[in-house]
A and B are shown apart, each in its own frame.
Chain A
């Protein structure tokens, strides 16, 4: 347990620090790279929670696809690659206050509700855990309980696809 706690502490700290740097840095590419750290820490957290499948998906989708897309976007739109002074604007003070307020409230709510509750200790074997959280279980859930959401996602992707064509097409 202690090892897990230490790991969580490190991950949490690194993701918070990286997130702060991400919004304060004045270099777009740096911001994207800080984002990698944030998303990576989240993926590591999933592993700590024994949700390997989600962790892998997180890595694949967010770091593998989305951040790469960001970087491509930065490249293709000819944004300044180096130091950029105009990334900030005069609203940042207000924005910081609002963000802190939201953080405070949400944090309070979580602490208030869960306090120092502990997750129930389950004496399960690896196989048992796998049956409820593993890739197989996820696969099962997708085609049973979450059939409709799964299908709706496919419709969503279709819409996105058509949309992408519409926006990208030249007249």
Chain B
């Protein structure tokens, strides 16, 4: 080997083939972020109100559009799923499903943020930029075919979220929540990274396809390292998905963060966490299912119980919903625990319907909280049906959906995960899940009752509630989805069924 040869090698870097269509959603989101920055720095006058939000929504819509094209390609029996960029990204139904879910999360949260930012006098492109970049990180997590890529996606998602949580600088709670989220997030990332190192040590690769191939082909004599890696990965993913006991940050951060950001966190960020969890555990570590299933079982039980019981004792609606979102994570874990195709598609259905429900819920909270983002107590909702019958009805739909009342998508979501658990013979878990849904019904009911009670004599009426256009559109979409899918779920179930993650070796 001469130096000349080395030099020649450097000259000809064999860059991998990149499928542009497959990465288009990512490029669109990042491109839109750059565009927003460009516009705001190149124009001297303020652009027309809502410009930033519209661009964000359009970008998400384009991302969803390209995802639609991809969907046709990956579900085509002859072409099927594939990997791109040297096996770093997988493009399968699962990826496409999450591209859509996360883009929806971005679009809906952006619609909520539009008026919020003006109301709080924070108008500017930064929140949207962060949202788009964070969403792109989430999509990377969902598409990742390599643990390193999963980790980087998670970090991109998180870094942007930390800042978003502290976006309302004037509120101490907002700053505080950002700080907490950041410190704890970094802490849990360390666990995740260590877990990746363990998995690498045990299998000799970070590529999911290679790992799965290795685990299928070899029987490990000492499984400690591998299983230790599982545990550490679970800590990292569990943290992002707010599974108990890694949920500790959730109530504070959800409560403190600006409400549209909370909506984004609860929808897109949680979806991304579950995407990673499903792809890595259910598909890649399928061989060691019997080892990790019981642990997920335990986590699911804890999450369900803690989420629903602690939600009841809250008085702050936003905090209540934070706990409620924890218990929803428990339900999704019920689907994960089943570790069957049915379980995965149930979890996917849950994630999608949950995205709409929770964005809608926090959307209503955004509007009711009023200027300063501070009216989150139950008393702010008292008599809402008088002041804003439409809004009260909308909120009722979201709450009933969260409680799992039939004819809403929430019912079917719960029905499918519990059905999957029963099918996988996890009877006890199914029982606990049902019980927790009964318990949490109290909580949702409490809010509904508060809304439909008129003010007591002498009590001052709650703050005036305005419903701006953007938020109205977002809430309308969310209600429409919740109700229509609750009645006609066929198509969505069909999508979820075809979005089971596949794990492909990097060769393909």
Residues of A participating in the B interface, judged by any CB pair closer than 8 Å: 105-106, 108-110, 112-114, 125, 127-128, 130-131, 136, 139-140, 143-149, 152-153, 155-156, 158-160, 162-163, 165-167, 171
Contacts and interface: CB of A to CB of B under 8 A. Distances in A.
Given A105-B228, A113-B224, A156 B126 contact: no
Contacts of A105: 228
Interface stretch (B48-56, B128-136, B312-320, B465-473): B128-136
B37 interface: yes
Contacts of A159: 130, 133-134, 137, 156, 159-160, 163
A131 B163 contact: no
A149 B1 CA distance: 30
Contacts of A106: 194, 228
B1 A127 contact: yes
A61 to B, nearest CB: 15
Contact of B198 (A109, A127, A136): A109
Interface of B: 1, 6, 9-10, 13-16, 18, 30, 33, 37, 85-89, 126, 129-130, 133-134, 136-137, 140, 146, 148-149, 152-153, 155-156, 159-160, 162-163, 166-167, 169-170, 194, 198, 201-202, 222, 224-225, 227-228
B204 to A, nearest CB: 12
A140 B13 contact: yes
Contacts of A130: 6
B13 A166 contact: no
A114 B204 CA distance: 13
A141 B31 CA distance: 25
B146 A156 contact: no
15 contacts: A109-B225, A112-B222, A140-B10, A140-B14, A145-B87, A147-B86, A148-B146, A149-B149, A152-B137, A155-B137, A158-B133, A159-B130, A163-B130, A163-B162, A167-B163
B1 A163 contact: no
Contacts of B18: 147
A127 B2 CA distance: 8
Given A113-B225, A143-B15, 20 more contacts: A114-B201, A114-B225, A130-B6, A136-B6, A145-B88, A146-B86, A147-B86, A148-B85, A148-B89, A148-B146, A153-B152, A155-B30, A155-B133, A155-B136, A156-B155, A159-B160, A162-B129, A162-B160, A163-B130, A166-B130
B152 A152 contact: yes
A143 B15 CA distance: 6
A101 to B, nearest CB: 12
Contact of B10 (A136, A156, A167): A136
A112 B160 contact: no
Nearest to A156: B156
A114 B194 CA distance: 16
A162 B224 contact: no
B198 A144 contact: no
B153 A152 contact: yes
A144 B224 contact: no
Given A113-B224, A159-B159, A166-B130, A149 B152 contact: yes
Nearest to A105: B228
Contacts of A128: 1
Contacts of B137: 152, 155-156, 159
Residue of A109, A128, A152, A156 with highest tally of chain B CB at under 10 A? A152
Given A153-B152, A159-B130, A162-B130, A139 B6 contact: no
Contacts of B202: 113
Contacts of A140: 9-10, 13-14
Contacts of A165: 126
Nearest to A125: B1
Contacts of A163: 130, 159-160, 162-163
Contacts of B225: 109-110, 112-114
B197 to A, nearest CB: 10
Contacts of B129: 162
A120 B33 CA distance: 48
A42 to B, nearest CB: 14
B357 to A, nearest CB: 27
Residue of A128, A144, A158 with highest tally of chain B CB at under 10 A? A158
Q: Which 7 A-B pairs have the closest CB atoms?
A: A163-B163, A113-B225, A148-B88, A109-B228, A127-B1, A152-B152, A159-B133
A108 B166 CA distance: 40
A162 B1 contact: no
A158 B13 contact: no
B1 A167 contact: no
Contacts of A139: 10, 13
A159 B421 CA distance: 39
Contacts of A158: 30, 33, 133
Nearest to B6: A136
B214 to A, nearest CB: 14
Contacts of B15: 143-144, 147
B72 to A, nearest CB: 24
Contacts of A149: 88, 146, 148-149, 152
A144 B30 contact: no
B264 to A, nearest CB: 14
A66 to B, nearest CB: 13
B9 A136 contact: yes
A162 B37 contact: yes
A108 to B, nearest CB: 7
Contacts of B133: 155, 158-159, 162
Contacts of B159: 156, 159-160, 163
Contacts of B13: 139-140, 143-144
A163 B130 CA distance: 7
Contacts of B10: 136, 139-140
A155 B9 CA distance: 28
A130 B156 CA distance: 32
Contacts of B130: 159, 162-163, 166
Contacts of B14: 140, 144
B33 A145 contact: no
